[in-house]
Structure 1
Amino acid sequence: MLFRIFMLFILLSFVTPTIASAESPLTAAFIRDHQLWIKKGDKEIQLTKNRYVDNPKWSYDGRFIGYIDSDDKGEKSDLFIYDTKVKENYQPYVRVVTSDFKWSPINNQLAYNDQGILNITKIKNGRPEGFENVSLGVSSFDWFPNGKEFIVASQSKLRPTGWGPIPIYRMPISANMNKDKITPFYTIRTSEPDLFGIDADYFKWSSDAKWVSFLLIPTASWSMDSNTLCVLSSKGKHFQSIGKMLGFVDWIKWAPLANQLAFISGEGRFFVENKKMMIADIPTFKQKKEYTPKGFVDLDVEWFSQNLVIVARAKENKEWKEGAVPTMFTSLNSINIRTGEQKQISFPKKNEFDEDPQVVRSYLSLVRRKSEGFQGDVWVREGISGQEHLWIKNVDSAPVFYEQK
């Protein structure tokens, strides 16, 4: 008996570290109990206390993390920055109220939308501080990949004859409210029901910066069930609508090296059915290809490589009609879009599900949750078939990784 216990102890000493924890050469910001944390390798550091943190984003060089300090009632939305060099939380101005902010793709400037006014921070002593006005009438925006201009949408206006068109503009970061520096980029002329919307948002650029995708968003109730995925060329000359989908920005992913757009298609706000992973070649001269098998739904998507796509997949639940919305017990599956081969690659336990796949270099991460809990754990593996290990416990949402430029 003593010999068996001794051998069991030795066996566990080898197995447990591999499953429970292991060091990863990754850096991520994450939220735990509404507070901002950072993890680098195997070291965790808490960055905020007594806040209600949301939407952390890394600056260009990884020195700063922008985030929103909100509250549980949604009555506050203040922009803060954490300086990892000085180890300080601060605001770039006396008070900045926004929920839409984005870091420059080429430096540590920060742009944000303050109630329709697009602003950009100045740089003081190497830090984003102060601000300059760029433009009025902004509903959504993003940087051009060159870091010198913005693509800006302005919401449609309701007229006696119905909703008007949605104008999209191109403007330099130095526009400084000068309308002569702002040029029309494209005008979306909508029509019900095929191409209806009152705003454009969630801009994402292709890897070669020749195309930008976005969602055409209808009125509030309608948008809960359907939005239109669109693409526009970088010169504003060619526009195409791609398909109908829900308004989840993480359900839209450009391929790492090609003008291919993976997205989760399907209308209806409930996840129980009609959510299919599709890939469109841009521009779309041929039919989009669907990869979700019959009887299943895909509820997230990520590119692992040029030919390999990861999805979070569950069985359909068409039997559900009313009452509490059922949990969809997703696991990760890989899809080789060249050969068509598909296989399950994560295996959560009963009453657990895997979601939010993210690829950082050769590493794949996921968030594993229990059906009855709010928080989840971050698991990481190297490669598709590598041994997964627990990296971060008890996160409120998926971590935000920093990848060195």
Structure 2
Amino acid sequence: MMIRILLIFIIMICFPFSTIIHAETELTAAFIRDHQLWIKMEKKEMQITKNSYVYNPKWSYDGRFTAYIDGDEKGEKSDLFIYDTKDNVNYQPYVRVVTSDFKWSPTKNQLAYTDHGLLNVTKMKNGRPSGFENVSLGVSGFEWYPNGQEFIVSSQSKLRPTGWGPIPLYKIPVNANLDASKMKHLYTIKTDGKDLFAIDADYFKWSSDGKWISFLAIPTASWANDSNTLCVISPQGEHFQIVGKMLWYKEWVKWAPISNQLAYISGEGRFFVDNKKTKIVDIPIFHQQKEYTPTGYVDLGLEWFSQEDVIVARSKENKDWKEGPVPTMYTSLFSINIKTNEQKQISFPKKNELDRDPQVVGSYLTWFRKNHNLAIGDVWMKDGLNGVEHIWMKDVDSAPVIYVKSE
């Protein structure tokens, strides 16, 4: 009997631990350490580049490839590279590709990118993205349609003697090959100086069911630092709605996992000291938007944990600041249950530390924690909202990009 009790006790202790280890080993992430690309697979960290200045890594459809920009500190260089995890090799898809905007297809290992307004897609050679084909000229922002066969494309507004013109949106097939007859007009965003002033549209994001796509209507450069207009449109352009005003941080807009609910951090003004509130709205908009940030606080990061729980990076307001160095906003993570309205703190950084960039993969929540005096930080993780937090990666430049298998 004593032996049986002892075995049961050991199983009760070990089983949750084993589950955590097993699930964690399945997470694969690309991250930047000392400006170099690293990849973490099955708890093993591997340095991929040397003597580079890497940023913006993105995983391919099946996780075999990671595309990234090899740039420089001054921002004068922006070369597109691809790392092949299967063959363990870095390469460029063409002799030289210069871009700042690139996106993988949601259905296959095909990469689309813009080069001075020219939208291109990669071809395949020996199982790798290699070479390219032209798609369209005059492209400002773009995103794949969920079927991987088309793009939604914006073209920047033109300045005329009477002011800025409208912003056209197009639906363009992958195989358009610069053929104007294949470019289908989707919608024209008519702007004005009161409700919606913008010269460009970008940061497109699809809802989970593909029935809506959100994007930011972006004004001229200086104005864009303080205010942009969040909009939504249906796939065929029949329905368009303005959602609200916000800054131009694309991670501050997130669709719910299984519903047409859009969470975003609203508010104008380039400084984070006040007026940054989490709102959730049902799309299409029939009801008043609900605000979840308590009075006296700001939210500076956002992620859905589940259909009912939203994670935010929250700090106290600092309305006393008027001039001088911009104060550090010491954020920690809070969970919001949008069904019960219960809110509670779920991460506890030490003094002079801040938690930001929450990400959710399955039951796992990760975030970036750093001391405000240091350029680098650590990635922390917990299993579930009530799990025990622990360090997942040490001494990294920013939050990782975790591979999520496409459904």
Q: Which residue of 1 aligns with 2:243?
A: 242
Q: Is 1:327 aligned to residue 323 of structure 2?
A: no
Alpha carbons of structure 1 residues 95 and 201: separation in structure 2 relative to 1, 3 Å:
same
Q: Which residue of 1 aligns with 2:93?
A: 92
Say which SS state the counterpart of residue 147 (structure 1) adopts.
coil
Which residues in structure 2 correspond to 1:279-290 (within 5 Å)? Answer: 279-290=280-291
* Contact 1:332/1:355 (<8 A) preserved: yes
Which residues in structure 2 correspond to 1:342-361 (within 5 Å)? Answer: 342-361=343-362
Alpha carbons of structure 1 residues 22 and 396: separation in structure 2 relative to 1, 3 Å:
farther
Deviation digits for residues 344-377 of structure 1, max 9, x if unmatched? 0000000101000000011000111101011110
Distance in 1, matches of 2:88 and 2:110, equals 19
Say which SS state the counterpart of residue 223 (structure 2) adopts.
helix
Deviation digits for residues 85-119 of structure 1, max 9, x if unmatched? 11111000000000000000000000000000000
Q: Is 1:140 aligned to residue 134 of structure 2?
A: no
TM-score, structure 2 as length reference: 0.94
Work out the number of aligned pairs and report it: 387
Q: Which residue of 2 aligns with 1:169?
A: 170
Say which SS state the counterpart of residue 222 (structure 1) adopts.
helix
Distance in 2, matches of 1:193 and 1:202, equals 22
Q: Which residue of 1 aligns with 2:49?
A: 48
Q: Which residue of 2 aligns with 1:266?
A: 267
Letter of the aligned partner of 1:136 in structure 2? L
Say which SS state the counterpart of residue 148 (structure 2) adopts.
coil
Which residues in structure 2 correspond to 1:3-402 (within 5 Å)? Answer: 24-25=24-25, 26-402=27-403
Deviation digits for residues 140-189 of structure 1, max 9, x if unmatched? 10100000000000000000000000000001000000000111000000
Say which SS state the counterpart of residue 51 (structure 1) adopts.
coil
Letter of the aligned partner of 1:59 in structure 2? S
Say which SS state the counterpart of residue 320 (structure 2) adopts.
coil
State the Cα RMSD in Å: 1.2
Letter of the aligned partner of 2:68 in structure 1? Y
Distance in 2, matches of 1:374 and 1:229, equals 31
Say which SS state the counterpart of residue 358 (structure 1) adopts.
strand
* Contact 1:22/1:391 (<8 A) preserved: no
Distance in 1, matches of 2:84 and 2:344, equals 42
Segments of structure 2 that go 5 or more residues without pairing to the other structure are 1-12
Distance in 1, matches of 2:88 and 2:322, equals 51
Distance in 2, matches of 1:42 and 1:305, equals 25
Say which SS state the counterpart of residue 221 (structure 1) adopts.
helix
Q: Which residue of 2 aligns with 1:6?
A: none
Segments of structure 1 that go 5 or more residues without pairing to the other structure are 1-13
Deviation digits for residues 194-225 of structure 1, max 9, x if unmatched? 10000000000000000000000000000000
TM-score, structure 1 as length reference: 0.94
| Structure 1 residue 22, shift from structure 2 partner | 6.9
| Structure 1 residue 404, shift from structure 2 partner | 2.2
Q: Which has the higher contact order (CA 8 A, sep 6+)?
A: 1
Distance in 1, matches of 2:388 and 2:356, equals 18
| Structure 1 residue 394, shift from structure 2 partner | 1.1
Letter of the aligned partner of 2:290 in structure 1? K
* Contact 1:120/1:131 (<8 A) preserved: yes
Distance in 1, matches of 2:350 and 2:117, equals 46
Distance in 1, matches of 2:293 and 2:405, equals 33
Letter of the aligned partner of 1:318 in structure 2? K
**Identity in percent:** 70
Deviation digits for residues 261-286 of structure 1, max 9, x if unmatched? 00000000000000000001000111
